[in-house]
Amino acid sequence: MWFGEGYMRTDFVEKISLSQFFLMIVIFQLGTAIVIGLGQSAKQDAWISVGIATIYGVLLIFAYCFMLSLLPGKGFYELLKIAYGSLLSRILSYFYVLYFLYIAARVTRDFCELLTTAIYPKTPIEIISLSLALMCCYFLYQGIEVIGRSTEILFPYSAAFLILLVIFLFINRSFHSENLRPVLEFGWGPVFQAVFPSMLGFPFGEIVALTTVMVAVTRQDYLTKVGISAVAAAGTILMIFTMINVSVLGVDMIDRVEFPLLSTIRDISIAKFIERLDALVVFVMMLGIWLKVCVFLFAALKGMESITLIPYRNFVFPIGLLVSSISVFIAANFAEHIEEGLVAVPLYLHIPFQIGIPLVTTVILLIKVRRRKGEKKHEGLDNVVQSEN
């Protein structure tokens, strides 16, 4: 049988709507990126770097959707089995599981660093990490449909908070447009250096984890359009807030702060009454990190399900606790954590797992699908000839 026998079925009983999928992509992309900031090495042209990276993100989501469209109804790990065979696909699936778990631990550490910096300076990161992990495990055990509905419910609050922050900054007269000039003072070199390789993997390349969710979307015929629209919307939001950070703080200040958006919001002081709005930023980041950790864990768990043929819910809590532990020991301090994420991870992890393997997989599947269509056409002609004889 064609792509049937010998492969585990991963049909989703649970489904998520197109609107839920759109919001999941937007929040997933914003995640930590909106608070940590992007493209600082491009100075006042950081927003241009984000715009270029957004174009890359749009192309990437299109490529992932095209890969899944070659064999509708098949999940990411099933496509690996079809493309590479049983043995090699198991090895690749195993490495993808490790990759997704590692990135989930990095995202968890981002959250811990923000909370210990902004709200709970005396709370051990172990407690914060464990709390986040247990919360994510609970949602994962309930299923992807519950995560989709929760995203749909919480997104309006996050959007309202971001809009309020922009309004308060405007009322506070915090914007300084001169900080955005001169445009392209040092040419295009720093702009592209900020994009490649760091922004190739973060945040847009991380969409690879959502390939394990895409098969659950109800209307597969609109999957590509919705995905492209969501990535473009998220990139536009990131570009706007990058401009805001540079405009309010200036280039020199952004280089010295750990969380640019948090420092930007602390500039708000209206009538000495509306100020210290850190909680709004923390909520926005908390929603994004909760969803990112859930998606990365879900991607890893589906990989384990594919390898062991055991339902992924059996692994939820042990794997969640493992990620919590890894996030604590992943780096000695925040500076080391950021350096590792900007230097080593993009080159040695993001590019192979986000671009290399999916690209090769798509080419192999395309060849196999076209070959199968040719065989069917040839069989059809043989049947016609036999019937005429």
- Over the stretch 211-232, which tens digit does the pLDDT of each residue have? 999 988 888 889 999 999 999 9
Instruction: Identify the H or E element spanning 59.
Output: helix 46-69
Tokens for 27?
């929040």
pLDDT recorded at residue 156: 92
pLDDT recorded at residue 301: 94
Q: How far apart are CA 364 and CA 380, in angstroms?
A: 24
Q: What is the pLDDT of residues 85-116, one digit of tens each?
A: 889 999 999 999 999 999 999 999 888 888 88
* Distant-in-sequence contacts of 118-127, Cβ < 8 A, 24+ apart: 118/259, 118/262, 118/278, 118/281, 118/282, 119/278, 119/279, 119/282, 125/327, 125/328, 126/324, 126/328
pLDDT at 68 over 50: yes
Helices within 200-277 (DSSP H only) = 200-201, 211-214, 223-249, 251-254, 260-265
For the CA atoms of 267, 271, 275, 281, what is the dihedral angle to 10 degrees? -70
List 217's β-bridge partners, or say none: 16
Instruction: Identify the H or E element spanning 270.
Output: strand 269-270
**Lowest-confidence pick of 39-48, 270-279, 374-383:** 374-383
Q: What is the mean pLDDT of residues 156-179?
A: 87
Of 345, 28, 16, 23, nearest to 206 by C-alpha is 28
pLDDT at 189 over 90: no
Q: How far is CA 311 from CA 38, 138, 316, in A?
A: 38, 16, 10
pLDDT recorded at residue 102: 93
Reduced to 3 states, what is the DSSP secondary structure of residue 151? helix
More confident residue, 281 or 11: 281
Q: How far is CA 69 from CA 215, 223, 365, in A?
A: 10, 9, 10
Phi, psi of 248 (to 5 degrees): -80, -45
Place of tokens 């040092």: 186
pLDDT recorded at residue 377: 56
pLDDT recorded at residue 28: 92
- Structure confidence at residue 1 as a pLDDT band (50, 70, 90): very low
pLDDT at 381 over 50: no
pLDDT recorded at residue 375: 67
- Structure confidence at residue 378 as a pLDDT band (50, 70, 90): low
Q: What is the mean pLDDT of residues 130-155?
A: 92
